[in-house]
Structure 1
Amino acid sequence: MSVACGAAVVLGGCTSASGSPPAGTSAGTPVELSTHCGIRFLQVGDDWFERVGGPLARDGNPPPGWGNPTQPGRVTRAGRDAVFTDDAGHHELFGRVSAPPASATACA
């Protein structure tokens, strides 16, 4: 299993690619998206992505309807974009960034 994390000053995110997709999922690469400090970064292989529209967070946590500390789902890539989807109906667009986040600082 591979694990990668990213963080911003306050908000961050990680993914963990697993060998089998979460129940009910099919297309894309299975991931466990870190949601504990909100949703901001995603890593797919050696490439890093940042959520388009800025971090998705509420009081330092994911909004209602998201798992905490992670949300199982899958990622598909198209050019410089990556899309996270899951069986709960979440659909988040991430754009590729030129470098990984500066640190994996834990949120408060």
Structure 2
Amino acid sequence: MNDSESSYYLGDKIASLFPKTEYLDKLVEKLQDSDQNIKYAVAYLAMFKMRWQKSGHDIRNRPDILGTLYSLGSIKNNGKERVPHAKPISNSFGTVAQGFYDLGLLLNQYPK
């Protein structure tokens, strides 16, 4: 998040909102705070969107793929990056994310 050379870098303004944490226990503390956690979650999703956009693959309107990436992370078990590609497929977490997204669209279209 703080590496300006990274494909996931969101810019200086965003990086300044997330000072580098030197100790794991401090990071865990931040993530256990609901106000901090939501900020990290939003930044995490934004990092995926930016990385894929830079690779020529727009996933801004793909909550299923964003949900999948959120659940899997950017690094595979073998230590290699999950490289953006033209035909991403969602996992079960991504399918649930899509369902919640679609529900929101329905609620906006048919308010109480």
Report the TM-score, using the length of structure 1 for normalisation.
Answer: 0.24
User: Which entry has the higher C-alpha Rg, 1 or 2?
Assistant: 2
Structure of greater relative contact order (alpha carbons < 8 Å, 6+ residues apart): 1
| Higher fraction of strand | 1
